[in-house]
Structures are given as structure tokens and as C-alpha cells.
Structure 1
């Protein structure tokens, strides 16, 4: 990846084979010779975040490794970053599509698919920002499971994310969000409730164990409530 320092690690996933992941070396990696970051309004500090391994992404990957397979279901990961959860699903034979708005996410995904000797994994550009006229032009159709980790990182007064999920969730779909207690969970759940999505929260807190760092957060599982006759 020209202009960037990277590293390669074996990542242990509970219930699945290890993944070989190439990521950015640290948060200081930034190269934007063609002005892509400026055009998207992404600061130099935020630009590298997609290419780092985050605890909530690992939590989602662990859950997807043990989730029962369902024949014929379509799965979408939003804000995938390095797409650990999508890679786990793909290796299990799930029909999964990874999506992110970062211009470099697809290149890193392609490389990590190659490193793990997998067949091609579907990727789409995905964004739901409130200022966009078409919030996610490259993601099409509806999905049986939509998943994401640490996507509630900013206030979203217009409900852009909730509306995007509503458009792309099949009628009986589940939406799984791993949230490290960012503080926007309550407002987001109210937006989802207005769209008829009930939520069940599961705490994922655990202390540090050997090589596993401590974690505090929740798995939020949303499902559309039956329409009132």
C-alpha cells in the first residue's frame, strides 16, 4: 500500500480458525496525494481508523463464528473497516457483503482475503451520512442480517443510520450492533423503535484474561415488531 506502513498478524477468533490480517501500523498513517480524504471530508486523524483492529470488531467476529447458519440468508456488514466479522462469515459459507465508505477499505479486504486463501468476498461502498442525497448508492436490496461494530460513534439527529437499516432490512431481519458504550445507544434505539424495531441488549463485559484485553460494551439485537392490524 504506497504511502503507508502496515503490519500482519494472526488474529485468534473464538470458535473459528485464526485469521491472518494486514492492518495499518498505527494511527499515524495518512497519505492523501489525490485529495480523497479532503473530498470526503475525512480528517487526517480519522482517516487511518478504518485500517486498525478494534475490540468491538473482534467481539462481533467471535459472535458470528458461533451463530447458527441459516440456509439462503443474506448478510450485510456496515462500516466494516477490516471486516473481521465478514471474513469469519465468508469462511463459513455465508452469503455476506462487506461495506464501508473509506476508499481504501476494499483494497485491504482484497489483500486479507488473499492472505487467508479465500474466494472473492462481495464488497460495496456504503455510507449513510445525513448530508448525502443518496445514502448508500452501492448497497442494493434487503438483507436477513445486518451487522456492525462501533458504528454509533457520533450523534445522528436525523436518524440517517436507522433509516438506512430500515431500507435494507428484510421484514423478518435481525440487526446486530456491537457498541462499546459510546453514549449514543439510547437515542439510536429510540429512532429504531419509531421504525418498529424492538431491541434486546446483551452485556459483553469481561475482565482481562491472559492475552485477551478487558472489554465493556453491549450487543444490541434489533428485530422488527409485527405491524398492528
Structure 2
């Protein structure tokens, strides 16, 4: 009852010690004996209790364990990620069941349990903060249809237009003959047109030739 002595460690040695005593001092002999006893007890626990259960650290944490990933973005793009009145960031949070914290220096922390959803949230943020470049291939959802083409949303607040002539290899009279609101398609960035506007093409996106102009996924299950 004179001493409360706790020792943590591995087979190789001690990693932590915590001690409370109710007397004025300890002899070297008492300390050595206490450490020797804890070594024997620690080895027994490791060999007979811990190792049969888990002999080495898990290669990955449990899918139910909370996780956090940090990335950096251009501080000038923070507003694009957040969106007007938080519209964009709230859409990402709701879509992928994550929490997102952004610092003024562009540090972004994404927290969640499902790593796949976290990766999707990270990819969405990267799309929002990356300028469209010629040759870039993205997957987007049809959010608006006009007589002259369709507008695709690649991420919250990140849209681009596909001209009707760039939807299918064959001539089409109406965009609705091929696309509907909610359809998900792959498109390639063609760069800027003569007026400096970014444009995309569905038909020029590398894929199976038989698949050109075909909807990848439709909002209508039928």
C-alpha cells in the first residue's frame, strides 16, 4: 500500500512509467524488484493475452473508426469550395457524410468513417479548385439543357457547356434526343473557344467507339 507503480512497454523495453508513493523515499533494491516484476508480468500478458488476439498492428483501421485526411488548396479558391452562403461545402458534406474544416492558409481537414466517401469528397474539392485544362476528362451530371447544348456539373458550383455538335457522332436535332436532366456522362475538355469560353465534348471523350454519345448513367432507372 506504500506505492502505486504502473509500467507500460513491449518485449524490448519500457515505454512509460507512472508512480505514486505514500512514503518519503524508495531504495534502489525496491525499484529494481518492482521493474523486474513488471517485466515478467508484461511478457506474460503480451505472449498469452495480446499476441493470440492481435500479433501485429492492423494494416488499416476499422471501417467504423473515425478518420481524418488533410489536403492543401490555393487559399484564393476557398470561396469556391465554400460557395455562396456555404452552398457548395454543405452539398459535399451532405453527399459524402463527412465534416470539412478549412483554414485561412488553405489547409482542409476532411473527417468521416467511410474512406471511399472521404476520397470522393477530396476529389470533388480538387475538381472545384482546379482550372479546366485541355484534355482533362471528367464525369458530370446534366443540370441544364438548352437548344444549343447541355450544361454539365462536375462538382458543386463547377459547370461547363457541351455544344449540341459535340454530344454524339451523328447529327442530332435536339439535345433531348440523347440527354436528359440528371444523366451522368464523361466529357473531355476542348480548351477555350474563339470567344475564350471553356467547352467540353462527350463524343470526343476516349472510350469504346460504340459507346460514344451514349449515356453512362441515367436519372431514369428505366
TM-score category, normalised to shorter length: under 0.3
| Structure (1 or 2) with the greater helix fraction | 2
Larger Rg: 2
